[in-house]
Amino acid sequence: MNFIDKARISIFAGKGGDGCVSFRREKYVPKGGPDGGNGGKGGDVFFIGDSSINSLLQFHYRQKFKAKNGKPGSGSNKTGSNGEDLVIHVPLGTQVSLEKIDENTQEKSIEYIGEILEDKELILIAKGGLPGKGNASFVSSTRQSPDFATEGKEGETFNVRLELKLLADVGLIGYPNAGKSTLLSRLTKANPKVGAYPFTTLIPNLGVLFSGYDNDIVIADIPGLIEGASSGKGMGLDFLRHIERTLLLLFLLDPSQDSIKKQYELLKKELSSFNEEIANRTHLLILTKSDIKSEFERNCDIVCNLSVSGITGENIDKLILLIIGEVQKMREKEKEVE
Ligand SMILES: Nc1nc2c(ncn2[C@@H]2O[C@H](COP(=O)(O)OP(=O)(O)OP(=O)(O)O)[C@@H](O)[C@H]2O)c(=O)[nH]1
Ligand SMILES: [Mg+2]
């Protein structure tokens, strides 16, 4: 599965409506007092978080987004209606930056605005133009019949860069070489690099498990964790931010490397030093490489939830059901909290 996780779009807020020049018309009064109304405000452009979207795909089909202009004012002091706002739906986790050009030096820069994390979270990106004033607004003691009005201002326009850090639902944690990437390729259509050496995975891989429910499950395969990772050893811990929002962790324990109990304790300890809350998150203990387990019985010193093989496929179907069940449970719990 290919993730489209970057897009560049142009957004245009609406122009303010023009003010109106008008004079009251009454019988026997050829030119009554000024009654030209103000224009309406131009529509704003917002982004809104939408949990039902999970890619930036839509922006590959459409790149220009425009809010409506404000309507001009009219006679009898009628104010023009405001231009309708435009609300663009984006997936949760979308990071928004604006391209800016310095008016004097023409230098380009990128201004990071923020990340949209919550469903229905709304951020204002481009403000609509202010309305023009009708001639009635310019009446003063010295100016009884102004015959001018002002134009509405242009709305803001920006080129916007969107980046989606896919939010993984499930994180695979384990020593280097524990079989994390092999398992990801078994569970999903992802095709990460697998190697018979530690630290084959240098950046997180993501795969999607099609759950059959309305939301598919994104699984993150991350680099291996070793003792001292929290103090910078191995790949460090920075990549753990990719699993900060997972619902479920799978501890992949490799019988061919070390005592399973020790692996579990060490992984938990390193996770805790990154984030105590992550370390205590719901997790399952999965024994990997079950096809060669018998050679390493001595290392199997705690009972795991399941033992699987990414090579022979043993118990992969059971693992899929287990993951789907746990994730559904967690999602329902999340909904109850909301
Ligand atoms: N016998 C056996 N070997 C496996 C199994 N799963 C993975 N391996 C082997 O273990 C080695 C490491 O596999 P990877 O999937 O790259 O392990 P990883 O945990 O992603 O490793 P890093 O990315 O380096 O942390 C490779 O040589 C795999 O072929 C398994 O179920 N059985
Ligand atoms: Mg790997």
pLDDT of residue 213: 64
Average pLDDT on 280-288 reads 94
Residue 103 resides in a domain: yes
3-state secondary structure of 238: helix
Q: Indicate if ligand 1 lies below 6 Å from the C-beta of 173.
A: no
More reliable by pLDDT, 315 or 241: 315
The domain containing residue 55 runs over which residues? 6-164
* CB within 8 Å of 275: residues ≥ 6 apart: 240, 244
Inter-residue contact 39 to 16 (CB < 8 Å): yes
The protein residue with its alpha carbon nearest to ligand 1, atom 8, reads: 179
What's the CA gap between 206 and 216, in Å, rounded?
12
Give pLDDT, residue 150. 96
Q: Please count the structural domains in the chain.
A: 2
Strands, E assignment, 103-222:
108-116, 122-126, 157-164, 170-174, 205-209, 217-221
Ligand 1 near 133 CB (within 6 A): no
**Can you tell me the distance from the alpha carbon of 269 to that of 263, in angstroms, rounded to the nearest whole number?**
10
Using CA atoms, how far apart are residues 20 and 38, in angstroms rounded to an integer?
A: 6
* Alpha helix ranges (H) inside 253-309: 260-274, 276-279
192-204 average pLDDT score: 73
pLDDT mean across residues, the chain: 88
- pLDDT of 202 > 80? The answer is no
How much is the pLDDT for 97? 95
Same domain, yes or no: 196 and 81? no
In a domain, 1, yes or no: no
DSSP secondary-structure letter at 38?
P
Q: Are residues 181 and 324 in the same domain?
A: yes
Per residue in 75-110, pLDDT (tens digit) is 999 999 999 999 999 988 899 999 988 888 888 899
Element at 66 (helix H, strand E): strand 64-66
- Round to whole Å and give the CA distance between 180 and 137: 70
| Residue 232 tokens, joined | 């910078």
- In this structure, which amino acid lies at residue 151? E
Ligand 2 geometric centre to CA of 95 (Å) = 27
Q: Is the same domain home to 178 and 157?
A: no
Q: Do residues 220 and 289 share a domain?
A: yes
Which percentage of the chain shows pLDDT scores above 90?
Answer: 56
**Do 46 and 187 have their domain in common?**
no
Mutation test residue for ligand 1: of 183, 184, 194, the one with most atoms within 8 Å of CB? 194
- Ligand 1 pocket, 226 CB below 6 A? no
Say yes or no: 152 and 237 in one domain: no
Same domain, 146 and 190: no
Q: Are residues 81 and 178 in the same domain?
A: no
Any ligand 1 atom below 6 A from CB of 174: yes
Does residue 330 lie in a domain region?
Answer: yes
**Lowest model confidence (mean pLDDT) among 11-25, 30-44, 199-213:** 199-213
Lowest mean pLDDT among 29-38, 165-174, 226-235: 226-235
- Tell how far the Cα of 197 is from the centroid of ligand 2, in angstroms: 9
- CATH number of the domain enclosing 182: 3.40.50.300
Q: Please tell me whether residues 261 and 321 are part of one structural domain.
A: yes
pLDDT reading at 1 higher than 60: no
In CATH, what number is assigned to the domain containing residue 90?
2.70.210.12
- Whether 250 is in a domain gets the answer yes
Looking at 111, 146, 164, the residue that finishes a domain is 164
Is residue 181 in some structural domain? Answer: yes
d(CA 113, CA 163): 12
Nearest to 264 by CA among 290, 210, 301, 295: 301
3-class SS of residue 270: helix
Please indicate, yes or no, whether residues 268 and 332 belong to a single structural domain of this protein.
Answer: yes
pLDDT value of residue 139: 92
Task: Identify whether the C-beta of residue 208 lies closer than 8 Å to the C-beta of residue 55.
Answer: no
Closest CA to 172 of 260, 235, 253: 253
- Please check whether residue 151 lies inside any domain of the structure: yes
Tell me, yes or no, whether 299 lies in a domain.
yes
User: Which residue matches tokens 């979308």?
Assistant: 94
The predicted structure's pLDDT at residue 189: 76
Dump pLDDT digits (tens) for 225-272. Answer: 878 777 777 766 666 766 777 889 999 999 999 999 999 999 999 889
What is the helix (H) or strand (E) element at residue 307, kind and residue range? strand 306-307
In a domain, 212, yes or no: yes
pLDDT at 2: 35
Could you tell me which residue, 49 or 26, shows the higher pLDDT?
Answer: 49
Of 117, 139, 164, the last residue of a domain is 164
Asked if residue 57 and residue 20 are part of one domain, the reply reads: yes
Q: State if residue 228 touches ligand 1 by the CB under 6 angstroms criterion.
A: no
Distance CA(335)–CA(209), nearest Å, equals 21
Q: Which of 172, 173, 175, 177 for mutating ligand 1's site (highest number of atoms within 8 Å of CB)? A: 177
Give the pLDDT of residue 172. Answer: 93
Q: Is 178 in the pocket of ligand 1 (CB under 6 A)?
A: yes
- 4 has a pLDDT exceeding 50: no
Report pLDDT for 279: 86
pLDDT at residue 236 in the model: 66
Domain's final residue, options 164, 185, 207: 164
CA distance 68 to 15: 8
More confident call, 48 vs 337 = 48
Beta carbon of 337 within 6 Å of any ligand 1 atom: no
Q: Quote the percentage of the chain above a pLDDT of 70.
A: 92
Q: Are residues 179 and 160 in the same domain?
A: no
- Summarised one tens digit per residue, pLDDT across range 41-75 is 999 999 999 887 777 878 888 999 999 999 999 99
